[in-house]
Amino acid sequence: MKFFVDTADVAAIRELNALGLVDGVTTNPSLIKKSGRDFKEVVKEICSEVEGPVSAEVVSTDYDGMIAEGNKLAEIAPNIAIKVPLTWDGLKACRTFTGEGKKVNVTLCFSANQALLAAKAGATFISPFIGRLDDLNLDGMQLIQDIRQIYDNYAFETEILAASIRSANHVSESALAGADVVTCPPAVLQSLVKHPLTDKGLADFVKDWEATGQKI
């Protein structure tokens, strides 16, 4: 499974990338706002930090606006993936960008039918939002499973990018469900290493070693 980091915090990206954990980055207008920095400046810096795709989102809701903005985003760096919403205009834009050889991340997916349309439009990535479905007492992970089966049935090459990840369980469940990529905040990615039995075992080992009075 590929790990994308869902953030505009360049320092956090740099730290995780040094460990070889970052296969790509996803951003959105909300994350850029949180960074407090210039949009193009922060995206360009992120693209220079990672080799994998960096999703940068258009903000227009009409086809012409998406095309104009997407082309500007693509000029920032060669590893940009243009992020478009799962609307009719978004699908039209996806088709256009894909035809031009650009990577496209179709976002805000909440149903298997939407994911099917995105794959037909040639999306590089489809981003189903797990956490937001869970908030409505719907099964976000079932959506991942449904999309996986549909894509496998017809050999679609669109990668399933599990988004709106809020816990370590979401990550492992997405992997089990067959997602190709999971994108999550740095804190969630870092939490994957944690387990109380690991902490306890390490503390016991340290205590027993200290009792021997030896040094390595």
CATH number of the domain to which 54 belongs: 3.20.20.70
Find the radius of gyration of the CA atoms of the chain. Answer: 19
Catalytic, 83? Answer yes
CA 85/CA 129 separation, integer angstroms? 12
Can you give the length of the chain in residues? 216
Q: Which of 33, 72, 83, 103 is catalytic?
A: 83
Nearest alpha carbon to residue 27 among 10, 48, 15: 10
Helix axes 39-49, 10-18, angle to 10 degrees: 10
Query: Which pLDDT belongs to residue 127?
Result: 98
Which of 87, 88, 86, 84 lies closest to 66, judged by CA? 84
The tens place of each residue's pLDDT in the chain, 216 residues long, gives 999 999 999 999 999 999 999 999 999 888 888 888 888 999 999 999 999 999 999 999 999 999 999 999 999 999 999 999 999 999 999 999 999 999 999 999 999 999 999 999 999 999 999 999 999 999 999 999 999 999 999 999 999 999 999 999 999 999 999 999 999 999 999 999 999 999 999 999 999 999 999 999
Report the C-alpha gap between 74 and 100 in whole angstroms.
11
Name the domain count of the chain.
1
pLDDT confidence of residue 33: 84
Q: Domain residues for 48?
A: 2-212
What residue has token string 């937001």? 132
Q: What's the pLDDT score for residue 189?
A: 95
Amino acid in the structure at residue 103: K
Contacts of 179 (CB under 8 A, 6+ apart): 1, 144, 148, 160, 161, 162
pLDDT at 10: 94
How far apart, in whole angstroms, are the C-alpha atoms of residue 39 and residue 108? Answer: 21
Concatenate the DSSP letters of all residues of 32-54 into one string. HHHHTS-HHHHHHHHHHH-SS-E
**What are the two backbone dihedrals, phi and then psi, of residue 210, each rounded to the nearest 5 degrees?**
-60, -35
